[in-house]
Structure formats: structure tokens, C-alpha cells
Amino acid sequence: MRIEKESKKEFIKLLVLFMAIITPWILGIAYFSKPADSVAEHSIKLVNYKADVGSRVDHQKFLILQQDFKTPQDVTAACVSCHNMAGQDIMRSSHWTWAREYVTESGDTLQLGKKNMINNFCIGVSSNEARCTSCHIGYGWEDENFDFTDSRNIDCIVCHDQTGTYKKFPTAAGYPVNEAKKFGNTLFQAPDYAFIAQNVGSPSRQNCGVCHFVGGGGNNVKHGDIAMESNQASKEIDVHMAIEGANMDCVACHIADEHNITGNLYSVSSDNTNSITCDQCHTNYPHKNQTLNDHSNKVACQTCHIPKYAKASATKMNWDWSSAGQFNEDGSTLIKKDSAGNITYHSMKGTFVWENMITPEYYWFNGKADHYLLGDKVDTIDAIQVNSLLGSYEDEFAKIFPVKVHRGRQIYDPVNQILILPHLFGKDSSAYWTGYDWNKAAKAGMKSAKLPYSGQYTFARTEMYWPINHMVAPAEESLGCSDCHSRDGHLANLAGFYLPGRDRSIFLDRVGFILIVMAIAGVAFHATLRIAGKRNN
Amino acid sequence: MKKRTYIYKGFERFWHWSQALLIFFLALTGFEIHGSFSLFGFKDVVKWHDMAAWAFIVLIVFAIFWHFATGEWKQYIPTTKLVKAQISYYITGIFKGAPHPTHKTIYNKFNPLQRLIYLGLKLLIIPLQVGTGLVYMFYIYPNNPAHVGGLGLVAIIHTFGAFSLLAFIIAHVYLTTTAETPLTSIKAMLTGWEAIDVDEKEERSKHLQQAVNDSAAGYYRIDSNGIFVDVNQAWLDFYKCTQRDQIIGKHYSITRDKKDLAELDLLVSRVLFGEFITGVPATRKCMDGSSGKHLLSANPVIENEEVIGMEGFVLNISEAEGLSEHMYYTVRNSGAGYYRLDDKGIIVEVNNAWLELYKYDNKEQIIGKHYSITRSPNEVENLEKSFNSVMKGETITGKIAIRKCRDGSTGRHILSANPVFVGNQAVGMEGFILDITTLEQD
């Protein structure tokens, strides 16, 4: 009887020890398995945002707008007769100047922008103005002699037209047509200026989109994250612009003061002034989970919240100019298309690669960019960086950003070691799209840009970087931890820092593995000897 | 000398097993964060690892407090003494069945290698893991909280620590099997009890102290003025005191009738002069006025070479004592045969009647022999059954048995048997036999 009692006591003691160790774990599990970060919807925290409602004005009532406008400049004159400071404001803006002031490290102030930089698509503006400036908010910028100080040349209605009838002609230096005219298969009508002028308002997505959605000569060619479908987007494509979602206009985020529209496009911008950030509305602590909020020190919101871009239409990922100039046997323009209708070859432009539902590439980016400036000497060992996003892990201001990298091959002067700005567009035979002679085009283009040309050309690999900011996905589609914290995750190629789950010291892992194996083997060996020794004894 | 001892205290075991569980869990979750495998998913595993880390830190804080509060930290003071012996024991001695070179005692729980390794864990590996772990946990920006230039170095050190701990655990778990039996050490860490070496001197003084306390003999001590300073429970019982303060502080004269007091006065004065009294009968006066008889011993209490009092024992001589004496002679002189076996079945005591029945001349011929000698081969089984059931605690009151006498003849007797208890343990069997050989013949 007493023996039983003793062992019972012993058992209870053990049980108490066991419970003391186990109970905190059970409590922990119970506590932590509470659905703290549940998918239960919570309202998104916003500050500073409310839809912009201007004072209501019925422009139809203004007598000055009830005239029979002969030229678009007449409309502008009518606009600025009331909005008498708007002209000055516009002419300071980069939408007008296609350039911004940029202070170099050595202290020089430069005017840098679309006007004098090259890109990875149709290369450069100089000598091609009349084609390029169909997206300029002005009239008549057809060569270097355009007067940037004449407010009558401002195109007010391209941004403010609410009728949807106003269209600039693609090759008319920013002018619409006077009488109906075809461009390819598209018929352009002369605008009804009075009707348009009486129906103006704050720019809608369509207004911005006529240029920005089709940059590079077609839908979604350049950006990848804004395209014609943004006008009719679903939540899956873009939560902000979605018709059934926030249904926000571009200017809801790209707010403007005195016509200076905020936001930087790093194909042309170098500095991070005037930029827009998510936290302006969403605050610095948008998540309930502090760990996620902490991530924003080094990870841009876009990185997790834009897991894919070019979700509907494809975007151009590669443009190889070197193959341009091939024709059908009958001498007509050779055009090849893929099954989705994207042009994959064009005699005028060369070979294209299109993709959609693209996982971005990721780079450290501190909001500042470097650019290839016309005349910069550069070798072709690596791809020439048309622009480069600055920043690194060590950079206090740099974060990981999703980026579209557009790759290509551009005409290059191997003697002077500079990229060539070719004369592409024009009626003259030196224009490539007329004479298909790269040598003449290079000569004319470089002359216009006031740069030397050796007479020799080749094609060099180029890369251009486009940070992705739009096509924000619904929260449940954003990246999860293990999308990056894993061996082959989204950030597999982003070097220069230790990422838990991705990185390790392979040497240490081997040493550790050997250590464990040796420990087990040693134990097994020792145990064997012991057992053998016992038998012998 | 080994003795079953309570060596690992409650908190110590709680700490040890909690730590074991936490280290195991931290390794499991840690190596998932490291990218070695996928089990919980990165988000949850980080949460679990952090939670376990905090639990570990809390446990460490308590453990540090415990080690200092109990002085157990001294167990980890490193020593180079016998390190070589311990190493050579593990390398060679253990295979030959050599004894452990060091002895586990309650003051020296760890062998010198254990001391070194555990101290290394406590001072190097665990602080390293906690330190790098905290930096890992709070480092979310190049300059926060300390500029360590990224997680790389911290993570690598942390991983190194994890491998070290893992290797330690493998060796540690294995080495627990090197005690007496493979499970001895683990059982000890679970229950707290282990048979370990005890300091004989200390053990003895502890035991003596206990013996006086619990003795059936009454203990007393008086100072040089004859005032009671201390008595034990047995003394209180003899004197029918219900409380110690009935006697402590009183003069010894209240323990005697007037007519017996002079005798005690004389005895006290003799002892205070340094004499030892080894056994004097005395008649005490109890607190309730009744009286009793006892044997009294007394010796001087000496401090700094000066007699400061007297102490000794009283042994009761009561009616019961007389009875047990009577019983002793009864058994010895009984016509019934008496026997006693130990737990192995060896005969340890018989009386004269038993010797006569079995036809032995004297005790020496049978003491130390196994009981099977008392039965013919086909009868042994019966006795064995009885023995076994008695050892389980049963009592047999009357069973007919056929004995085999020393000369080979047989006889019949009725046998009684009951277990001999020491504490709760049956340590033998005893009983009587009554001869019925002649009875049967009639």
C-alpha cells in the first residue's frame, strides 16, 4: 500500500513539472492562434485625401466661349483672358518645357528632360519634333525655333476637354487638324472648338491617358503600369482607378498647384522633388502588423502591393532597332504580329518583344536617377544605361522598388563612343522613315543635336528603368513573406544585403552540417564501443 | 557511499526541461527562417521564433536569479583538476568498465568537463544567441539600434550558435546514458532523485542530529544552573508534557518527587564536575503527577573547555518493556519451533524447539542456509509458494507441511508464517511450527 502511495506521489510531482512546462506553450498557442491579422476587412486608413471638388462654373454661360474659333490659339486666348495667371504657370511647368532644372554635383544648373534626353524607344526629340510633340501641350513645336514664351501656343483643351472629341494629329507638331484627315486607318476630325471650350473641366483619366497611356507610339508601350484599360479598370487591375473601386482620377494623387503637377517619371526626372508617395494618404503605419510597417523602412509599398504589371494589355519589353529596314518582297512595309495583335516586327522600327502579367525586377532606389545625356562617352561592354536608378542597401533613403526594365539595341557611334540620335521623322530623304539609310539619318540627327558623327555606326545594347507605381493590387493579392524570404523568391537577384530566408553562408552551413554529422557519428561510434566493451567484460 | 538523494530541485528541473523544449523549438523554427526547410510558413515561423525567444529570455532571467539565490552558480566554477582523467575516462576507461573518475555529490553535481561545457554555454553560446537574436529582432534599419552594417554578420553568428547548440544537445543527450544505467540520469532529471555519493562525515552528523530528534530515547539538556534548555519529543512523551514551554526554562527539580530529588542533585553536581554517567535507574515525576521508571545517562556539555551544562538520554522502563522481555523468553523456550528467513530465503534465526524438531545439534548448523534444505525435493515447491506469498505481504496461519530433518527422516507439522517488515518493506518471513507427527499416528 505505501509503495503505491509513494509512486503515486512521484507521478503527481512529474505531472506538475510537465504541466508547468507545457501550460505556457498551450497558452501561447491559444493566444497566438487568435486571428489577429485576420482577413476580416478593415477600412483602409487614409489621411489628407478627399476628392478634389473645384468651385462649379458653367463655361457655357461665358460669352467669350460662344464665338466661332478659327484656330486653337483663339481658344487659348479666350481661356487666359479669364485664367490670366494660368499661362505663366503652365509655361513654368515641365509639361510645357519638357525639362526641369537639375543641379549637378559640381553645382551647375542644367535643364534636363524629355527635350534633350534620349529614351529607349524612339530615341530623341531633336530633329523629330513634329512627330514627338503631338504629345506636347502646345501648338507648333516643329523645330528648335519654337517660342516657349508665347502663352497663345498653350494647348489648354487637350487636358481640360470633357467632350472626348478633341484630338491632336500625330504628326502635326501638336496641332489638331483643320479638316478631316486620316492617319493610318484612323480618321481625325477638325474639332468643334466652341463646343469643347464650353465643356471644360478638371482633367479626367482620359485626358491624361491620350498621351501617357500610349507613350512610345501605342497602348502601354512605355509604362507597363498605365494603359488604356486604366480608363475601365477592374479592382484586380488597379484598386485606385477601378470603376467599381475608388475610381480615382490621375489628378487625385497627381495633385497640382499652379499647374505644377506632382509626380516624377524617372525616364526623364533626375530628382525626387515634387514626388508623390503612398504614405501621403495611407500614413507611415498602414498595417496593423508592426513588422510590416517596419518593412517600409527598406521596402517601397509598391514592391509588395504591385506583384504584377501589364495585367491586361502587353507592354513592350525589348526594342531592337538593328533589324529595322527589312521589307516584303514587293517592297511594301513588313509588319509581323503575335497572336494578341502586338506588332513584333515593323520595317520602320525593328523587332519588339511584348509581355504581359509581368513580375517586376527589383532595385534599390532612393528617388534619384542618373541619365545618359547626349554626347556622354560610353563603352558597350555592358548594356548602355539610358537611365539608372540610384541607391543601394547602405543608402539611408533607398528602398526596394519594383521596376520595369526595358532593353533594346540602339544606333551607336563606335568611333566617338556616343549614342546616336537619328533623324527618324520627316519628309526629307535623310529621315530614316523616308530613306531607310541609317548613315544619313545619323548624320542629320547628330547635326541637329549639334554633336559629332564619325560616319560609322553600329548597334549597342541599352537598358532603361521604369519604376512601377500603378496597377496596385487588392490587399489579398499582395506579396506574402515567403515571396521574398525564400531561396528563389522575388528578390533572388537583388544583391548587397542579407535577407533572412534567402541568404546564408554556404561555408558555415557546410561546417555546421559536418559538425552535426560528426557529432552523431561520434556518438554512434562511442556507443558501439561501449556496447562491445560491456559484452567483453 | 551512495545514497538516494534529492539532487535536482523543482525549479531546476522546470528550468532544464523548459530550456530543452525551447532550444529544440528555437532550432526548429530558426532553421526554417534560415531557409533550410518549410514547415510553418515564414510569417508564422518568425512569430513563433520571436515568442519562444522571449519565453527563453524570461526563463533565463529567472534561472540567473535562481542560481544566485541558491548559490548553485558555484557548481559551474571551472576546475582543471581531473579534466584529463574525465577525458581519458570517456576515451578509454568507459569501454573497459572503469569507474567514473569523479563522484557526483550534492555539492559537486557536475564533473569537470560538464563544468567547463555548461559554463561555456552559459557565458558564451547563450549570451551570443540572445545578443545576436535581439539585434536580429530589432534591426530594421542600417542605423537602428546599432550600426552593424546589415544583418549578414549577426545572422551568421546566430546560425553558428545554433549549430553549436545542436551539436551540444546531441552530445549531451548521449552522455546522459553513461551513468549507472542508460536512463539513470534522465530519470534523475525528471524526478529530482538520484543515488549519488554522499559525504560520510556530513551524512553521519546529519543523521545523528536526526536520530536524536526522532529517537525513542528521551533527550534532555540543562544549563549549569539546572534549567532545561532543550528536550526532544520522546522526553516530552515520557514526562507527559503536551508543550515544550511547559519544561523549557524550568529547573530540573520539577521532574522528581521530593524524596528522589537529592539523588538527582548529587548526579547533576557530579556531571557538572565533568563526570559521565552511563546508566542510572530513576523514577521520574510526570507533569500530570504520575510517575515512571527510566534509565538515565548524563554527560557534561563542554564549550571552550568549560562545563556549561549537562545532557543525556532517558530510556523508559515501562510495563511494555517488561512484556517484550517476557515474549523474548517465551519464544526462546517455546515448545513450538520458531524460525526467521531473510528476503532471499536464508534462515537467520531459529529457536531450540525448531532445532530439536529438525534434529540439529546447534544453530550454527542451520543459520545461513537456504530454506530448501528443510524440505525433500518434491516438497520444496510448496514452501516456495508460501514464501513468495508471504513476501508479498500475506500471512499464513496454519498449513500442514512435511519437513525433512537433518538425518533425512521426515515429520509433519503445522506451519504459520508472516512477513517481517522494516518500514514498508517486507524483508523476511517468520513463524512457528507445531509438530503433529505423533498426532497423525494416533
Task: Kindly state whether A506 is in contact with chain B, defined as any CB-CB distance less than 8 angstroms.
Answer: no
Helices (H) and strands (E) in chain B, counts: 14, 12
Selected for mutation to probe chain B from A530, A531, A537 (highest B CB count within 10 Å) is A530
The residue with greater pLDDT, B234 or A323, is A323
Contact, A253 vs A276, CB < 8 A?
yes
Residue burial A61-75, b: 16+ Cβ < 10 Å; e: rest? eeeebeeebeebbeb
So what's the ipTM on this one? Answer: 0.82
Q: Are residues A153 and A224 in the same domain?
A: no
Domain stops at, among A143, A174, A203:
A203
Q: Which residue of B has its CA nearest to A31?
A: B51
For chain B, percent of residues with pLDDT exceeding 90:
29
Contact, B420 vs B428, CB < 8 A?
yes
Please report the beta strands in A350-457, taking only residues with DSSP state E, as ranges in sequence order: 350-355, 361-365, 369-371, 384-385, 387-389, 399-413, 418-419
Domain harbouring B101, CATH code: 1.20.950.20
State the pLDDT at residue B322: 54
Q: Are residues B251 and B219 in the same domain?
A: yes
The residue with greater pLDDT, B395 or A409, is A409
Task: Kindly state whether A291 is in contact with chain B, defined as any CB-CB distance less than 8 angstroms.
Answer: yes
The mean pLDDT value of chain B amounts to 86
Tell me if B155 and A14 make a contact (CB, 8 A cut-off). Answer: no
Q: Are residues A218 and A279 in the same domain?
A: yes
Task: Provide the domain limits for residue A525.
Answer: 503-532
Q: Are residues B135 and B159 in the same domain?
A: yes
What band does B201 get if pLDDT is binned at 50, 70 and 90? Answer: confident
User: How many CB atoms are located within 10 Å of the residue B39 CB?
Assistant: 12
Q: Considering Cα of B121, then B122, then B127, then B133, what sign does the dihedral take?
A: positive
Q: Which residue of B has its CA nearest to A507?
A: B156
Task: Kindly state whether A500 is in contact with chain B, defined as any CB-CB distance less than 8 angstroms.
Answer: yes
Q: Are residues B140 and B193 in the same domain?
A: yes
Report, as an integer, the average pLDDT of A458-484.
Answer: 95
Measure in Å the smallest separation between the Cα of B95 and chain A Cα atoms: 5
Which of A54-58, B80-84, B171-175: highest mean pLDDT?
B171-175
Residue A535: list chain B partners with CB under 8 A. Answer: none
- Summarised one tens digit per residue, pLDDT across range B389-414 is 888 888 888 888 888 888 888 888 88
Report, as an integer, the average pLDDT of B362-377.
Answer: 87
Q: Are residues B122 and B88 in the same domain?
A: yes
CA-to-CA distance for B61 and B197, rounded, in angstroms?
31
Tell me if B43 and A17 make a contact (CB, 8 A cut-off). Answer: no
Residue A474 lies in a domain: yes
Measure in Å the smallest separation between the Cα of B324 and chain A Cα atoms: 27
Is the pLDDT reported for residue A284 higher than 70? yes
Q: Are residues A375 and A524 in the same domain?
A: no
Domain harbouring B361, CATH code: 3.30.450.20
Task: Kindly state whether A503 is in contact with chain B, defined as any CB-CB distance less than 8 angstroms.
Answer: yes
Residue B151: list chain A partners with CB under 8 A. Answer: 497-500
How many distinct structural domains can be found in chain B? 3
For chain A, percent of residues with pLDDT exceeding 70:
95
For chain A, percent of residues with pLDDT exceeding 90:
75
Residue B154 vs residues A179, B16, B147, B387: alpha-carbon distances, Å: 72, 27, 11, 70
Which residues, at least 6 apart from A249, have a Cβ–Cβ distance to it below 8 Å? Answer: A202, A203, A204, A205
Q: Are residues B345 and B211 in the same domain?
A: no
Q: Are residues A227 and A192 in the same domain?
A: no
Which residues, at least 6 apart from A48, have a Cβ–Cβ distance to it below 8 Å? Answer: A280, A281
Q: Considering Cα of A136, then A139, then A144, then A150, what sign does the dihedral take?
A: negative
- The packing angle between helices B10-33 and B152-175, to 10°, is 130
Q: Which residue of B has its CA nearest to A505?
A: B156
Report the residue from A13, A24, A519 with minimal CB separation from B55.
A24
Q: Are residues B254 and B327 in the same domain?
A: no
Measure in Å the smallest separation between the Cα of B329 and chain A Cα atoms: 33
Tell me if B33 and A501 make a contact (CB, 8 A cut-off). Answer: yes
Task: Kindly state whether A511 is in contact with chain B, defined as any CB-CB distance less than 8 angstroms.
Answer: yes
Selected for mutation to probe chain B from A503, A528, A537 (highest B CB count within 10 Å) is A503
Q: Are residues A67 and A187 in the same domain?
A: yes
Residue A370 lies in a domain: yes
Report the residue from B155, B162, B192 with minimal CB separation from A498.
B155
Residue A34 lies in a domain: no
Residue A46 lies in a domain: no
Domain stops at, among A172, A188, A203:
A203
Residue A152 lies in a domain: yes
Is the pLDDT reported for residue B364 higher than 70? yes
Report, as an integer, the average pLDDT of B78-99.
Answer: 87
Tell me if A482 and B42 make a contact (CB, 8 A cut-off). Answer: yes
Q: Are residues A236 and A268 in the same domain?
A: yes
Q: Are residues B212 and B84 in the same domain?
A: no
- Summarised one tens digit per residue, pLDDT across range A64-99 is 999 999 999 999 999 999 999 999 999 999 999 999
What band does A362 get if pLDDT is binned at 50, 70 and 90? Answer: very high
Tell me if B35 and A486 make a contact (CB, 8 A cut-off). Answer: yes
State the pLDDT at residue A64: 94
Selected for mutation to probe chain A from B11, B96, B174 (highest A CB count within 10 Å) is B174
Tell me if B174 and A2 make a contact (CB, 8 A cut-off). Answer: no
Domain stops at, among B302, B317, B332:
B317
Is the pLDDT reported for residue A522 higher than 70? yes
- Summarised one tens digit per residue, pLDDT across range A229-241 is 999 999 999 999 9
Residue A195 lies in a domain: yes
Residue A530: list chain B partners with CB under 8 A. Answer: 94-95, 178
Q: Are residues B90 and B179 in the same domain?
A: yes
Q: Are residues A85 and A63 in the same domain?
A: yes
State the pLDDT at residue B81: 83
Grid-cell match 485606385, residue found: A240
Domain stops at, among B317, B340, B362:
B317
Selected for mutation to probe chain A from B8, B9, B14, B42 (highest A CB count within 10 Å) is B42
Q: Are residues A244 and A377 in the same domain?
A: yes
Q: Are residues A65 and A159 in the same domain?
A: yes
The residue with greater pLDDT, B128 or B281, is B128
State the pLDDT at residue B213: 81
State the pLDDT at residue A496: 86
Report the residue from B14, B51, B424 with minimal CB separation from A21.
B14
Contact, B357 vs B435, CB < 8 A?
yes
What band does A40 get if pLDDT is binned at 50, 70 and 90? Answer: very low
Tell me if A486 and B192 make a contact (CB, 8 A cut-off). Answer: no
Is the pLDDT reported for residue A166 higher than 90? yes
Report, as an integer, the average pLDDT of B84-112.
Answer: 86
State the pLDDT at residue B353: 86
Q: Are residues B311 and B336 in the same domain?
A: no
Residue A91 φ then ψ, to 5° = -70, -10
Residue burial A247-267, b: 16+ Cβ < 10 Å; e: rest? ebbbbbbeebeebebeebbbb
Residue B389 vs residues A296, B401, B414: alpha-carbon distances, Å: 79, 16, 17
Q: Are residues B58 and B167 in the same domain?
A: yes
- Summarised one tens digit per residue, pLDDT across range B307-330 is 899 998 888 876 555 556 666 777
Residue A6 lies in a domain: no
Residue A348 buriedness (CB in 10 A; 0-12 / 13-18 / 19+): middle
Tell me if B47 and A32 make a contact (CB, 8 A cut-off). Answer: yes
CA-to-CA distance for A123 and B173, rounded, in angstroms?
70
State the pLDDT at residue B202: 75
Q: Are residues A253 and A151 in the same domain?
A: no
Report the residue from B35, B152, B192 with minimal CB separation from A487.
B35
Tell me if A2 and B424 make a contact (CB, 8 A cut-off). Answer: yes
State the pLDDT at residue A51: 64
Task: Kindly state whether A27 is in contact with chain B, defined as any CB-CB distance less than 8 angstroms.
Answer: no
Q: Are residues A248 and A360 in the same domain?
A: yes
Q: Are residues A79 and A94 in the same domain?
A: yes
CA-to-CA distance for B188 and B179, rounded, in angstroms?
11
Residue A343 buriedness (CB in 10 A; 0-12 / 13-18 / 19+): middle
- Summarised one tens digit per residue, pLDDT across range A220-279 is 999 999 999 999 999 999 999 999 988 999 999 999 989 999 999 998 888 888 899 999
Q: Are residues B152 and B14 in the same domain?
A: yes
How many distinct structural domains can be found in chain A? 3
Is the pLDDT reported for residue A42 higher than 70? no
Contact, B284 vs B256, CB < 8 A?
yes
The mean pLDDT value of chain A amounts to 91
Q: Are residues B299 and B378 in the same domain?
A: no
State the pLDDT at residue A38: 47
Contact, B152 vs A507, CB < 8 A?
no
Q: Considering Cα of B377, then B378, then B384, then B386, what sign does the dihedral take?
A: negative
Domain stops at, among B269, B298, B317:
B317
The residue with greater pLDDT, A22 or A5, is A22
Task: Provide the domain limits for residue B412.
Answer: 322-441
Residue A87 lies in a domain: yes
Measure in Å the smallest separation between the Cα of B394 and chain A Cα atoms: 13
Contact, A268 vs A223, CB < 8 A?
no
Tell me if B192 and A13 make a contact (CB, 8 A cut-off). Answer: yes
Q: Which residue of A has its CA nearest to B191?
A: A14
Measure in Å the smallest separation between the Cα of A289 and chain B Cα atoms: 11
Helical segments of B233-290, H only: 233-238, 258-272
Residue B277: strand pairing partners: B298
State the pLDDT at residue A347: 95
